[in-house]
Amino acid sequence: MSQFESTFGVPDAVAQKTSGLAIASLVCSLIVCCPITTLIGPFLGLAAIVSISNNPARKGKGIAFAGILIGLVVTILWGMGVVWGYKAFTVPVQQGPREAMQAGFVGDMLGFKSGLLGKAAVASDADAQAFIDELRNRYGEFVSCRLDEDEMAKNPPSVEEIMQPVKPFPYVFEFANKTVKADVEFGSFDPETRELHWGVKFGRFTIHDPDLGDLTYPPSEGESDEAEGNGNNDPETGDAG
């Protein structure tokens, strides 16, 4: 070996090239709109680091580490988003206005209406209480409610219906004395207040009862006015006070 070679070393026969795996790792991790690619990115980054370590002609560990870090962070955020979406949207749609009904049946009209939107949320406490009382008189205490998946399978909603800000879906309401079917509106945009909610709230209820007649909440303006007028009548004479 010459003095030059012993002092400065033998020059590389081939210049180092950036690892294609490292570049692919970073690219995949940066495609944040797709959780699959952000999950693939860290694996490619790990493979790139192993490859670079075993091949002096390759470089790009920094790029690989960046791909791993970005991919992991974005994947975790995607996971948190999926969990939040499931709790905020999927579970409420499946369960229907269960929490609102439970509040109403213990006399908490504020809690009942807080889970609702549109005219159902701004109806009077008297209208809300009348609805709960009529349900109790007809069917007994509220037990539970759920999405009517059988009805959904027989009559799936159209694309136009799904795209509506507030849409009615079929539900099954279970009471102590009877189980009835209903249509309940739900959505995240309140047409009354023009407010967007980060989650699902429920609107108009229509309880279907072929024997006693359908029951709707909130009542129409005429029905509500009639109920208030009846409430102002003298209990003995029937005349307005």
pLDDT tens track for 216-229:
999 876 555 554 45
Average pLDDT for the chain: 84
Answer whether residue 143 shows pLDDT above 80.
yes
Answer whether residue 205 shows pLDDT above 90.
yes
The pLDDT score that the predictor gives to residue 212 is 92
Where residue 106 falls among pLDDT bands split at 50, 70, 90? very high
The answer to whether 199 and 187 are in contact (CB under 8 A) is no
Which of these, 166, 208, 204, 172, lies nearest to 95 by C-alpha position? Answer: 172
The pLDDT score that the predictor gives to residue 221 is 64
The answer to whether 63 and 70 are in contact (CB under 8 A) is no
Answer whether residue 232 shows pLDDT above 60.
no
Across 70-93, average pLDDT:
90
Where residue 215 falls among pLDDT bands split at 50, 70, 90? very high
The pLDDT score that the predictor gives to residue 116 is 93
Answer whether residue 92 shows pLDDT above 80.
yes
The pLDDT score that the predictor gives to residue 50 is 92
Where residue 193 falls among pLDDT bands split at 50, 70, 90? confident
* Number of neighbours of residue 5 by Cβ within 10 angstroms: 10
Quick one: what percent of the chain has pLDDT higher than 70?
A: 85
Give the residue, 114 or 10, on which the prediction is more confident. Answer: 114
Q: Give every CB contact of residue 140 below 8 A, 6+ residues apart in sequence.
A: 175, 176, 177, 178
Quick one: what percent of the chain has pLDDT higher than 90?
A: 56
Answer whether residue 83 shows pLDDT above 50.
yes
The pLDDT score that the predictor gives to residue 224 is 54
Domain coordinates in residue numbering, the chain: 12-93, 96-231
The pLDDT score that the predictor gives to residue 6 is 46
Q: Alpha-carbon distance 23 to 227, whole Å?
A: 71
Across 131-150, average pLDDT:
96
Please tell me whether residue 98 adopts helix, strand or coil conformation.
helix
Least confident of 3-12, 16-25, 120-129, 179-188: 3-12
